[in-house]
Amino acid sequence: MPIQFFPTNDHALVAEYCELRNHVYRRHYPHLEEDFGREEAMDHRSHIVVGFEGRVVAGGRITIARPGRPQPMPMEEAGFRLAAALPEFDLDRRAYCEISRVAVDPAYAGARRCSSGLIRGLAHLAASLDVDVVFSICPEPQVRWNAANSYRCGVGFEALPHIAIPNPFRIHMTLCVYTGLIAADRGFSYSLVEDFHSSRSVSGQPSMLR
């Protein structure tokens, strides 16, 4: 059976995802705090998607802000503000989100099939929640892959390396902007969307972690 990607608020699955991201992030950035990546307050204000093949092998989250329901994005925790840095996006008047804490089990990372499926699942969930603009930050080497994956999904992509964003990783992170998710979502393959909807865990409805 292929890897299944679905949104979940099941505490056992979320706990597996948090342990995975703790392992992955500390493997890449050993200087991070010992508990970095484990469950945190932002998870309870976000929507989590996992990749599952007998166990959680990947995961990520989207955090949404809407007009009348603003909330800081994960990248804004150190004082950076997207609305101030990108006034052309008029973020006070539109829904937007950040994809963050993406983690893939190293055993599944080689061919990028798993990470591509995860990003498609996160993008589909954002579009299904009427979010058309998504932000993320990533190391410079990953920008080209993000651009190529966006092209394959029919999503607009822009990298903004000139914008400095404080982060705990001690390297420069590039701000990435993805647009047109709702229109692109209509072009996703039938099997991907059908898989995404049919393979949820019992309590894995697309709602925030309780």
List, for residues 141-193, the tens digit of each pLDDT value: 999 999 998 988 889 999 999 999 999 999 999 999 999 999 999 876 433 34
pTM: 0.88
- Where do the domains of the chain lie, and which CATH numbers do they carry? 4-198 (3.40.630.30)
User: What residues contact 21, with CB distance under 8 A and at least 6 apart?
Assistant: 37, 59, 101, 103
- Is residue 47 a contact partner of residue 10, using CB atoms and an 8 Å limit? no
